[in-house]
Amino acid sequence: MEVNTQTRLLVLLFKVTEMLASNVSKIKQRRVKTNNISLNIAEQGEGPLVLMLHGFPESWYSWRHQIPALAKAGFHAVAPDMRGYGKSDKPNDITAYNQVEVTNDIIGLIHSLGHKTAIVFGHDWGAPTAWACAEHHPNLVKAVGVLSVPFSPRAPSPPLDMMKEIFKDMFFYQLYFQKPGIAEKEWEANIRLNLKKFYHIGSGSFDAGNFIEPKSPDSDLLSDIKDPGTLGNWCSEEDLNFYSAEFKLSGFRGPLNYYRNHNLTWSLTENRKNRIEQPALFVAGEKDGVIKMAENSLKTMPEYVTNLKINKLIPEIGHWTQQEAPEQVNKLMLDFLNLVK
C-alpha cells in the first residue's frame, strides 16, 4: 500500500512538472524598444495589458506561474527582463539604473505593446517601480499590485545616508553592494551556488531574522551561508539552472546598480505625490524579511494607498512570494483583476 501511494505521488509530481513545462513552453519572448533601450519580454495571451516586474536577483521567469494563468483568464500577460538583466539591454552607466529611468522603461512598454493603459504588478525591486508607475502616471496605470515591498512615502533624508547611520557598526547587504566590483566578484565566482544560498535565506524555510545578523561591516554576503542542498518545490533544479544561465549571460553589474541609485532616485523625486489613488493590491509572505524590516510601512500603507482592495500576508512563505505560493498568488491577482478590469 505504501509503495502504491508513493508511486501515485511520483506520477502526480511528474504530471505537474510536465504541465508546468508545457505552460512555460507556450510563453513567447521578444525584444521591445522603450525609453531608448530594448527590453526582452515574455508574453502570452490577448486582452487588457498586465505588466509583471521582477526583482533581484531574478528575471521574467519569476512570473512563470502567473503568465499562463493570466493569459488563460483573458489578459495580455507580459513580464520583462528589467534593464540590466537577461536578454535586455545593460547600460554601462551606474546612474542609468535609477528608478525614474526604470519607471520610464515600463511606461514606455505600454505604448510599444500597442495598449493605452496597463495594470502593473511588481515584486522586490519591481515593487517600487510598480508603485512609481501608478503614482506618477495615473492616466496610464489603471491599477497596481505589489508583492513583498509595501508603499512608503519619500524618506526625510537620502536612504543610503540613513542606512550608513543605522548599520554603521555591522554588515548590511545593501551597503556591501555599493562599491562597484566587490559584490560582482563574489556573486560571479559561483553563480549557481550563490543564487541557491540567496534564494534559501529569503525563503520561508529560513529564519528571516538571521538575514541581518551581527557580523562586521567588512564581511561578504554569502561565504558563511551553508549550501542548503535543494530549495524545495518552489525552485527546482531546472528552475535554478534557468536562473544560473541568465546570470552567466548578464552578469551582476546591472542588477546591483539598482542598489547604487538609492540616493539619486531620492534626489530626482523631490516632488513625489506620496499617494496612490488607483485600486491596489498588496500581498507578502508572513516570513518575508522585507516585511520585518518594513513593518511600519506596512502599518501606514493605507494612509497613502487610499484604494487598497486586497492587503494580505500569506502564512509560511518568505520573500519569493509568487514562486513560493503560486496558486494563492494567482487567485489573489485574478480576484483583483476581475475587480478592476
Return the active site residues.
124, 319
CB-CB contact of 60 with 86 (8 Å): yes
Residue 329 to residues 260, 299, 317, 333: CA-CA distances in angstroms? 30, 21, 12, 6
Question: What is residue 305's DSSP assignment?
Answer: B
Question: What is residue 274's DSSP assignment?
Answer: -
98 SS3 class: coil
**Which of 170, 152, 180 shows the shortest CA–CA distance to 269?**
152
268-278 burial: b if 16+ Cβ within 10 Å, else e: ebeeeeeebeb
How far apart are the C-alpha atoms of 100 and 91, rounded to whole Å? Answer: 15
- The three cell numbers of residue 189 are 565566482
How far apart are the C-alpha atoms of 324 and 283, rounded to whole Å? Answer: 12
Question: What's the burial of 184, exposed, middle or buried (CB within 10 Å: 0-12/13-18/19+)?
Answer: middle
